[in-house]
Amino acid sequence: MASNTTTTTDTTSQDYRVFNFCAGPSTLPLPVLKQARDEFFNYKGTGMSVMELSHRSKVFDEIIETAESNLRTLLSIPSNYRILFFQGGGMGQFAATYLNLQASKYAHEKRAKLGKELVCDYLVTGSWSEGAVKECKRLGGNANLVIDTKDSKYSHIPDKSTWKLSPPEETAYVYYCDNETIHGVEFDPDAVTSIVDPSVPIICDISSNILSRPIDISKFGVLVAGAQKNMGPAGATLVIVRDDLLERPQDVVPKAVSQLPTVFDYALFAKAKSLLNTPSTYTIYMCGLVYKWVIDQGGVEGMQRLREKRSGILYDVIDKYPDFYHGFVAKQNRSSMNPVFTLPNEELSAQFLKESQELGMVQMKGHRSLGGIRPSLYNALPVEAVEHLVKFMEEFYQKHK
């Protein structure tokens, strides 16, 4: 049986571990899990678990402040950006990003100058960006599809020469998902920031590839990420937002402000340092442990080296047997976090999943909307797990080709 530390078939042993390829909630680093276990009942002599600590206590202040400080270091977040922890998951941010940008002084002044509502530009390359644009329209937003690859089953990102960006003076923001977890599509670094006018804020969903490679935060207006991919357990959503987008017009109260729920208001959360209401305290604590672990592994640059090694090993096998392990995303756009592929028929897919699970590799079934196989390769997944997988893939191919 596969294990990150020891090999044992005793499923009741604390050393028993499988290789968890789940797309989320995802595998967590073993050192993080062990530290959380050791601190679970009595955190630093308080006689309480972090789960029991008041979010208004000095002890929790230290937890969240250390987490923010380490994240700022890891991502080189400039001083004019706020780090906020919300609940509601990535889907909650579909609405929050739209409503907060519409409520900003920036958008209000731009609307007044233009004399009409601004356009919200969306790059639709998978289910998550599709969900975001649907929410924008549901809330009455004037959405423009810069690209939409649904007809091609989200198999590629079109050449930038075909993108239909709105004129900068008419645009509220540009929104995209950097890595589509379900469809396995990932943007190249700087792909969007290199073409969007600097005057237009870019909103980026980096839920499933945050901390896996360097990113220039200063080129974005807002970045959002659910915790349960590369940062920690489910329960918290990270928002990184530029200070000027938190400003509100003083002379009027735009309709967008009155429509913005308090629990999604970036400006109020920034003022309260994420403590406007009771936050997901334990998830934030776990994220803080992960941030420290990433620092110990060589930071984001260290994670990038491991990311490239893991995905390279897997894609080598997929490319070796393309008619058997069919990767349907264009090579230049395929994800290093969420590779997706199909087998020749559903029976083989079911057999693949059954046999791999017997060998200690779990949760590789593709999303229910897509099918196939999806072994997610997040930061905490050891290279050993991918080596174990590709060995199985070679043997499975030889038996069923």
The DSSP secondary-structure symbol of 139 reads T
Residue 319 shares a structural domain with residue 289? no
For the stretch 50-83, pLDDT in tens is 999 999 999 999 999 999 999 999 999 999 999 9
Residue 271 shares a structural domain with residue 215? yes
- Residue 70 within a domain: yes
Residue 196 shares a structural domain with residue 330? no
Give catalytic residue positions: 128, 205, 229
Q: Which amino acid is at 176?
A: Y
Confidence of residue 90 (pLDDT cuts 50, 70, 90): confident
- Residue 135 within a domain: yes
pLDDT at 10: 66
Confidence of residue 253 (pLDDT cuts 50, 70, 90): low
Other C-beta atoms within 10 Å of 377: how many?
26
- Residue 376 within a domain: yes
Strands of the 143-148 sheet, one edge to the other: 81-86, 237-242, 222-226, 202-205, 171-177, 119-124, 143-148
- Residue 211 within a domain: yes
- Find the mean pLDDT for residues 377-382: 97
Who's near 111: CB < 8 A, 6+ residues apart?
117, 118
Other C-beta atoms within 10 Å of 242: how many?
18
Length of the chain in residues, anyone?
401
Separation of alpha carbons 227 and 280, rounded Å = 11
Residue 69 shares a structural domain with residue 140? yes
Separation of alpha carbons 346 and 366, rounded Å = 12
Taking the CA atoms of residue 323, residue 324, residue 330 and residue 331 in that order, the dihedral angle to the nearest 10 degrees is -100
Separation of alpha carbons 175 and 185, rounded Å = 15
Q: What is the CATH number of the domain that holds 310?
A: 3.90.1150.10
- Residue 187 within a domain: yes
Separation of alpha carbons 335 and 229, rounded Å = 14
- Residue 195 within a domain: yes
Chosen domain end from 232, 265, 294:
294
| 214: containing domain | 50-294
Residue 311 shares a structural domain with residue 349? yes
pLDDT at position 301 over 60: yes
Confidence of residue 5 (pLDDT cuts 50, 70, 90): very low
Residue 238 shares a structural domain with residue 319? no
For the stretch 266-277, pLDDT in tens is 999 999 999 999
Residue 350 shares a structural domain with residue 374? yes
Residue 270 shares a structural domain with residue 377? no
385 sits in the region (left: phi over 0; alpha: psi -120 to 50; else beta) called: alpha
Separation of alpha carbons 279 and 286, rounded Å = 13
Domain count within the chain: 2
Chosen domain end from 294, 324, 357:
294
Specify the higher pLDDT residue, 294 or 5: 294
DSSP line for 260-278: S-GGG-HHHHHHTTT-SS-
Within its chain, how far is the Cα of 226 from the centroid? 6
- Residue 112 within a domain: yes
145 phi/psi in degrees, rounded to 5: -90, 105
Chosen domain end from 250, 274, 294:
294
Separation of alpha carbons 269 and 3, rounded Å = 41
Separation of alpha carbons 384 and 310, rounded Å = 9
Who's near 189: CB < 8 A, 6+ residues apart?
213, 214, 215
- Residue 55 within a domain: yes
Confidence of residue 385 (pLDDT cuts 50, 70, 90): very high
Taking the CA atoms of residue 319, residue 324, residue 328 and residue 333 in that order, the dihedral angle to the nearest 10 degrees is -20
Residue with tokens 């672990």: 293
Residue 290 shares a structural domain with residue 303? no
Residue 115 shares a structural domain with residue 129? yes
Residue 260 shares a structural domain with residue 306? no
Q: Which amino acid is at 7?
A: T
Who's near 312: CB < 8 A, 6+ residues apart?
none
Residue 189 shares a structural domain with residue 95? yes
Confidence of residue 259 (pLDDT cuts 50, 70, 90): confident
CB-based burial, 349-368: b 16+ in 10 Å, e otherwise: beebbeebeebbbbbbbbbe
Q: What is the CATH number of the domain that holds 174?
A: 3.40.640.10
Q: Could you tell me if 93 and 224 are in contact, meaning their C-beta atoms sit under 8 angstroms apart?
A: yes
Q: Which runs of consecutive H residues, i.e. helices, occur in 76-174? A: 89-103, 105-114, 127-138
For the stretch 309-366, pLDDT in tens is 999 999 999 999 999 999 989 999 999 999 999 999 999 999 999 999 999 999 999 9
Percent of the chain with pLDDT over 70: 95
pLDDT at position 4 over 80: no
Confidence of residue 204 (pLDDT cuts 50, 70, 90): very high
Task: For the chain, give the mean pLDDT.
Answer: 93
